[in-house]
Structure 1
Amino acid sequence: MGPTSSHTTTVRSEPIISVHGVHKTYAGGFQALRNIDLDIRRGEIFALLGPNGAGKTTLIGIICGIVNPTSGSVVAAGYDIRKHYRAARAAIGLVPQELHTDAFESVWATVRFSRGLFGKPPNPDYLEKILRALSLWEKRDAKIMALSGGMKRRLLIAKALSHEPEILFLDEPSAGVDVELRHDMWRLVRELREQGTTIILTTHYIEEAEDMADRIGVINKGQLVVVEDKTALMRKLGKKELALTLRQPLTELPAELHAWPLNLSGDGQTLVYTFDSQTEESGIAELLRALNQHGIDFKDLRSSESSLEDIFVSLVQQAQGVKP
């Protein structure tokens, strides 16, 4: 499954999508996007995160040629999306949030029609492979109106893949779907990526972005707050904590330990050491030696670290001028 053109599973250096200086202001003066610059690498999974109304769907609409930017340019698969719309759009598959199609059509007729829209010759074997991968083959003759919500969401994906796009957009694909479909969907996404398809997704399920994405972009109030490799973002902004359960409670910390980023629980039973992901493990060893020198012993310790959700919330708060 996936594009028939030659691909490699290695992420290449040149971008497959380039967005430069994109602004979007709607009638009435609402500014949905502000000076967006974004390059998306060929063959990567890019997750675009942001609160409701942040501009995610508008940005996807502009890249796909559905929404016209007020200013700026977009190049997709080597084509300017406005000057060469048909060629650029043929390289893109879009899975929108809602299904808009003839409810009286059959599943098979719908995916066949979607393929034909992009000038692709009939390829029933390929369409069968898509429908089987999405557990839709047995429903190929069913009318769309008779499908369950989960099956309709699977059909959206099948329609988007029908013309073998190089780029696949998934706009909130997991919203309101069951766990089984979610697992099937992400298994398919991984297979597509291995075959060279570039995947761009928006999601409210941040743990999915943490699990799936190569890079993360965070958008808030129409502006990109950060674009970073996922591992680098978590290393740079992630916080770690070491919680020590003390053998004897403390009423206060010795003055010599005030320089350490330590917090003592109200009952004096737990000491929490907070450090960032760039701190060497030797820092923990030094802390434990310092505690030993002051006769502070512990009976248990456990560590934890920030999730991508913690980082996302912190970035949005910073962008809004709120102290985390």
Structure 2
Amino acid sequence: MNVFITGASGWIGSAVTDELLANGYAVTGLARSDESAAALEKKGVEVHRGSLDDPASLAAAAKAADAVIHLAFNHDFDNFAAAGQGEHDAVKAMLDALEGSGKAFLFASGTAGASGAVPGTATEDDPSPFHGRDSMRGGAENLALGYAEKGVRPVALRFPIVHGRDGDPGFVAYLAQVARERGVSGYIGDGAHPWAAVDRTDAARAVRLALEKAPAGFRAHVVAEAGVPTREIAEALGERLGLPTRSVSPEDAGAHFGWMAMMFGTGTRATSEITQRTLGWTPTGPTMLDDIAAGAYDV
């Protein structure tokens, strides 16, 4: 089976690519730069040159593949609305190319916005509240899941914070950077806001299992830890980096944390019991605090 992966050279995508290759899949990876193309070719990945800004090219690559895993996203926090609109257009182009084929279309989504029977806790049964091209991430989850009635097997991959020890460029790394720059490891308010989390290798294995086992319309919660309190994250970073830990008031959070303030001050709690049972997936990797303590975010 040949799988077309967008974001194949990214933080999550590179681990998914390795997981698929190790399990006998052929992979075609989207590459925007020469550097990304070279890294993919070194792994034995067939390269499709292009970008998320070229829906027609994405559609052609999707149609030529046996399945699609869409993990790329334009994280432009200065123009997040445009990034969401671009996501909508890219997803729709690939889905239209797959219509009636019965092929799988797995795509990165998130746990934010849905809450379950336990207030503030997202479960797989909770639909995304975002609809339409102008909504969060272009309403791509609801758009894609609607293609289950059009001969496609769409699967939402709801990722929380994905951490790891191999050069994580994401949210925890940003918090560590802010702590070093400010000379203090901060959290907002009482620091009770939870961050759902998963180790990168566990996430990659869950994606492969979702490709193999998830039914059409499934919302996979790629979650190992339901919610790590932000105060504990700040304390772990402070201890590891040799910095004091203190609370930052909500009023000062924007100045202290920048674009991260809203996310860090809100948090998301999510469970994955249905995903673990459906996919036969059991997270076994280190926790977020384990990775911090091991020095994953020292530099």
Q: In which range does the TM-score fall when normalised by the shorter chain?
A: under 0.3
**Higher relative contact order, structure no. (Cα contacts within 8 Å, ≥ 6 residues apart):** 1
Question: Which protein is bigger by CA-based radius of gyration?
Answer: 1
Whose helix proportion is higher, 1 or 2?
2
